Chain A
Amino acid sequence: MKVPRAIRPILVVALAYAIVEAGIPAIGALLKPGTWPVVPAHLARIYLFFIANVVLLYTAADEVLWGRVRGELRYFFGADEVRVVRTLVIAAISLAGGYVAYDAVRPRLETPPELRAIHPAPPASFSIGGKAYDLSTLNNPLRADKSKFADHVKAGAELYFKNCFFCHGDKLDGKGHYADAFHPRPANFRDVGTIAQLRESYLFWRIATGGPGLPREGWPWMSSMPIWHRFLSETEIWQVILFLYDFTGQAPRVRDS
């Protein structure tokens, strides 16, 4: 039996749906065993909307194909001999629509999606204990002296393992002992999307002022980061930053002029 032209686009979209809902999670499960990384519903909806649009446009672009599809549709919605099938299809579509509406509004015990930006915008400047820091010009003062670099990194490593590693992990990959208790999870410094994207001044701000120092925009941040300037000196924070970059092999973003 030859598949009617009008059915093909629907089949293609259905296939795309299957890939988005099952295919991608399956690949994800292979890459990260023990999980089932679904495509977030928010994203999946936009994916499918776009795919459906392209399929529709592709069908409509060819005059012959479009004519045939229209003919088939006209037949399906007009001819007497397919009345039963037609009624069933219309009923199925209506029921599906009803279910979607029901599903969207039914009460459920789920927290709403979390809107969290990875790199919140820092302030232009901030002050600690009366000393003001201008983030646009702030640089790591410890980088200037190359001869002491190794010492600073070593000191930073010690500080890291005394203070940070409980959450951020001994491999700096965000998998510390307490990591599982946090949502969102501690930052993974080995990921090219974290510290490698940022200037050292940003890290200094983030470490020194911690979760409470984050801007109110997009609140709540739910960051468990302590306010480290209460525990560490300015130099110590810079030493830890040196260690973070040195250990992960990342380079901080620099201001190239």
Chain B
Amino acid sequence: MKALAVMLLLVLVLLASGGGRALVASPSGAMAAETVSAAEAAVGHPGAPKLTPPDYPRYGGLNSRVVVWVAAQLHLFFAAFVLGVPIFVLAIEFIGWRNRDPRYDRMAHEFIKISMGAFSLTATSGGILVFALVALYPGLFAYLTGIFGPVMLLYALLFLAETACLYAYYYGWDAMQGRRKPGHILLGLGLNLVGTALMVLSNSWATFMMAPSGVDARGVFAGDVWAAVAGPLWTPLNVHRFLANIAYGGAIVGAYAAYRFIAARTPGEKAHYDWMGHTANGVAIVALLPLPFAGYWMTKEIYDYSQQMGITLMGGVFAWLFIIQAVLIGTIFLAANFYLWCGMARLDGTSRTAYLVKYIAGVLVICFLVWFTPHTLVMTARETAALGGAYHPVLGPLGLMSAKNTAVNVMILATFLTYQLFRRSMVRSTQSWMARATRLQVAFYIAAVANIVWLGVYGYFVPANVRIGLSVPQVATTLLVIVVCVVVDEAIASRSERVHMIHWGRMPTRAQYALFTLAVAFTWLMGLMGYIRSSIRQHWHVYTVMRDGSADAFTPTIGHATSIVSASTLVFLLLILFVFWLSGLGRGQAVASGPVAAPATP
């Protein structure tokens, strides 16, 4: 039934887009006849229309920009969630299959179930977005359709494929167990491929609007769709969104687990959802770790594409939005760490390494403060006088990228260390090589931090372009430490005795609120960063090619922008809570036999 509804909706969307095109094509076509330039005549495509306020239909007191903004944001929230979840669901299913552990399989199944509930909302919000665009921004929609028509058609077909794959994957779950499992996993792979293709296609419109390619300065399309799709920002945005979707999916299913944990009545249920929350938190954090670097890459490409856009992004009003971003990321790191610290309570007795937590907390604080220190300090005249200038001898150097990269890397290492301590607390070294391996790990950490800090300090003495390059070895160091530690831990864990059982479910309720915090902060941050990405186009629909001629072409103040972000987040969270609540109905006893005591998760 649901599938049918989704298909119907899709057909409606297609009709709407087609209709919108025809609707808008007529007036501009008539006008175009008056002055057709040679270039236009040659390729048969008109350039970007110059729009004026009357070209934007208005309905009552409705603010067109806010309507499209909220609709797009909601669609992105749902789409990111629905595309992100199957990626790690497939991974968890695969692990469960290889290890012959049915608990993983069950958890994966439950994850995908939540994303099923959100799928129809994704389609609905997408439909609303298209309607809103056609009704409120017909000129822009017609121009984009004129260029991306074939891509949009492919997109619609892929959406059908996605629907088919998702439904087959979800409803075939129980039927395709045992011998048929590889087939199911292949199905999941197909689902993810189609989903990623969908995302990549829709990204092309977004990046085209930011950095148009395949068109000339007047917006005349040369006819090569691929050139328009593969713009300069396309690949960085694809990578960034792919990672962010996974992190986001993890954060939202974490919130689901937390919600069910709070509502759980039996210890079995509690244990199951605790484990689920732990896994989801892990997924979110692991996918979050490389995001800053994907972000730097994207920023660099933006800067290379247009210095003006780059400086608008980092220098003007938008610089303040990065202060808010810093607060949000701080919230995310803190919430995730707090959850990990609380997780120590699942272990019997006091962990031998629990005393390290306070030092980790200290390191986190210092890193965050460094990361938060802005390049330009806001100072009163008295403070400036006390400083003897605008430059602060202690905080000034911290404002530069070198310091920030260093802080982020150390912060990531500290977070990973917490996670590692939790895992290592369960085993006792039984052989002498294990102690040596542990000492090696410690040495590795020290060397890594030393290297990262050294590279950071070195960055002050080299020119900017070299300095940006230094972030690569820093990241490499961090990733190397993580990989080495995982390998060594795995070796030790498989050859030693377990001294602690994990008591899943022995977790305070306030830790569950950390998971909610993660979900809320992720959602809000996504809304904020999406706003930044999209609004650095300023008064352009398509940067430098098609000007926004509407009354809403101005950049809003930060407060106004964030309140729209807040409203979108709120609507999304209420809808997703509703999805949680729905998926909780008629499902009480299913998890009664969850794992009360279990080994560590991957």
A and B touch in the complex (CB under 8 A): yes
**A interface, CB within 8 angstroms of B:** 24-25, 27-28, 31-32, 34-43, 46-47, 50-51, 53-55, 57-58, 60-63, 66, 110-124, 135-136, 183-185, 188, 191-193, 196-197, 199, 201-202, 215, 217-218, 250-251, 253-257
Query: Are B544 and A124 in contact, CB atoms less than 8 angstroms apart?
Result: yes
Query: Are A121 and B376 in contact, CB atoms less than 8 angstroms apart?
Result: no
Query: Are A53 and B378 in contact, CB atoms less than 8 angstroms apart?
Result: no
Min CB–CB distance A227 → chain B (angstroms): 20
Of the 9-residue stretches B184-192, B271-279, B302-310, B476-484, which lies at the interface with chain A? Answer: B302-310
Query: Are B378 and A114 in contact, CB atoms less than 8 angstroms apart?
Result: yes
Closest to A64 in B: B350
- Per-residue CB contact flags for chain B residues 323-360 toward chain A (1 = under 8 Å, else 0) read 00001001000100110011011000000001001100
Given A24-B395, A196-B464, A183–B381 Cβ distance below 8 Å?
yes
Interchain CB contact (< 8 A) of B378 among A43, A58, A202: A43
Query: Are B375 and A193 in contact, CB atoms less than 8 angstroms apart?
Result: yes
Interchain CB contact (< 8 A) of B376 among A117, A136, A191: A117
8 closest A-B pairs (Cβ-Cβ)? A61-B341, A35-B388, A31-B393, A119-B315, A251-B463, A121-B312, A121-B316, A121-B311
Given A54-B334, A192-B400, A197–B464 Cβ distance below 8 Å?
yes
Interchain CB contact (< 8 A) of B395 among A39, A114, A122: A39
- Docked Cα-Cα span, A55 to B334, in Å, equals 11
Interface size on B, residues (CB 8 A): 61
Query: Are A253 and B465 in contact, CB atoms less than 8 angstroms apart?
Result: yes
Extra A-B contacts (14), CB below 8 Å, given A51-B369, A135-B308: A31-B394, A38-B383, A57-B341, A58-B358, A60-B338, A62-B345, A62-B357, A63-B508, A112-B380, A113-B383, A120-B311, A135-B307, A196-B463, A256-B304
Please name all residues of chain A whose beta carbon is closer than 8 Å to the beta carbon of B373 when the two chains form the complex. 43
B319 beta carbon closer than 8 Å to chain A: yes
Find residues 219-259 in chain B having any chain A CB closer than 8 Å to their own CB.
none
Query: Are A37 and B394 in contact, CB atoms less than 8 angstroms apart?
Result: yes
Query: Are A202 and B307 in contact, CB atoms less than 8 angstroms apart?
Result: yes
Given A32-B388, A36-B386, A122–B307 Cβ distance below 8 Å?
yes
Please name all residues of chain A whose beta carbon is closer than 8 Å to the beta carbon of B488 when the two chains form the complex. none
Query: Are A37 and B307 in contact, CB atoms less than 8 angstroms apart?
Result: no
Please name all residues of chain B whose beta carbon is closer than 8 Å to the beta carbon of A253 when the two chains form the complex. 464-465
Min CB–CB distance A144 → chain B (angstroms): 20
Query: Are A42 and B307 in contact, CB atoms less than 8 angstroms apart?
Result: no
24 intermolecular pairs with C-beta atoms under 8 Å apart: A28-B387, A38-B383, A39-B395, A40-B379, A41-B380, A43-B378, A46-B372, A50-B365, A57-B341, A63-B345, A114-B378, A117-B316, A121-B315, A122-B307, A124-B306, A124-B544, A192-B463, A193-B375, A199-B307, A202-B307, A202-B311, A215-B316, A251-B465, A255-B307
B16 beta carbon closer than 8 Å to chain A: no
Please name all residues of chain A whose beta carbon is closer than 8 Å to the beta carbon of B361 when the two chains form the complex. 54-55, 57-58
Please name all residues of chain A whose beta carbon is closer than 8 Å to the beta carbon of B368 when the two chains form the complex. 50
Query: Are A111 and B386 in contact, CB atoms less than 8 angstroms apart?
Result: no
B382 beta carbon closer than 8 Å to chain A: yes
Closest to A26 in B: B394
Please name all residues of chain B whose beta carbon is closer than 8 Å to the beta carbon of A120 when the two chains form the complex. 311, 315-316
Given A27-B394, A114-B378, A61–B342 Cβ distance below 8 Å?
yes
Interchain CB contact (< 8 A) of A256 among B341, B390, B465: B465
- Docked Cα-Cα span, A196 to B463, in Å, equals 6
- Docked Cα-Cα span, A60 to B510, in Å, equals 9
Closest to A34 in B: B388
B178 beta carbon closer than 8 Å to chain A: no
Min CB–CB distance A159 → chain B (angstroms): 24
Query: Are B544 and A113 in contact, CB atoms less than 8 angstroms apart?
Result: no
Query: Are B304 and A255 in contact, CB atoms less than 8 angstroms apart?
Result: yes
Interchain CB contact (< 8 A) of B393 among A28, A51, A58: A28
Please name all residues of chain A whose beta carbon is closer than 8 Å to the beta carbon of B464 when the two chains form the complex. 192, 196-197, 250-251, 253
Please name all residues of chain B whose beta carbon is closer than 8 Å to the beta carbon of A135 when the two chains form the complex. 307-308
B496 beta carbon closer than 8 Å to chain A: no
Given A110-B380, A192-B400, A254–B386 Cβ distance below 8 Å?
no
Query: Are B378 and A115 in contact, CB atoms less than 8 angstroms apart?
Result: yes
- Docked Cα-Cα span, A120 to B312, in Å, equals 8
Query: Are A38 and B387 in contact, CB atoms less than 8 angstroms apart?
Result: yes
Give the one of A34, A117, A124 with max B CB within 10 A.
A117
Please name all residues of chain A whose beta carbon is closer than 8 Å to the beta carbon of B342 when the two chains form the complex. 61
Given A115-B378, A192-B400, A251-B465, A37–B316 Cβ distance below 8 Å?
no
- Docked Cα-Cα span, A89 to B386, in Å, equals 34
Give the one of A34, A40, A47, A124 with max B CB within 10 A.
A40
B384 beta carbon closer than 8 Å to chain A: yes
Please name all residues of chain A whose beta carbon is closer than 8 Å to the beta carbon of B393 when the two chains form the complex. 27-28, 31-32, 35, 37
Min CB–CB distance B310 → chain A (angstroms): 9
Query: Are B400 and A193 in contact, CB atoms less than 8 angstroms apart?
Result: yes
B460 beta carbon closer than 8 Å to chain A: yes
Query: Are A43 and B381 in contact, CB atoms less than 8 angstroms apart?
Result: no
Interchain CB contact (< 8 A) of B399 among A39, A115, A193, A201: A193
Please name all residues of chain B whose beta carbon is closer than 8 Å to the beta carbon of A183 when the two chains form the complex. 381, 384
Please name all residues of chain A whose beta carbon is closer than 8 Å to the beta carbon of B544 when the two chains form the complex. 124
Closest to A175 in B: B389
Query: Are A38 and B510 in contact, CB atoms less than 8 angstroms apart?
Result: no
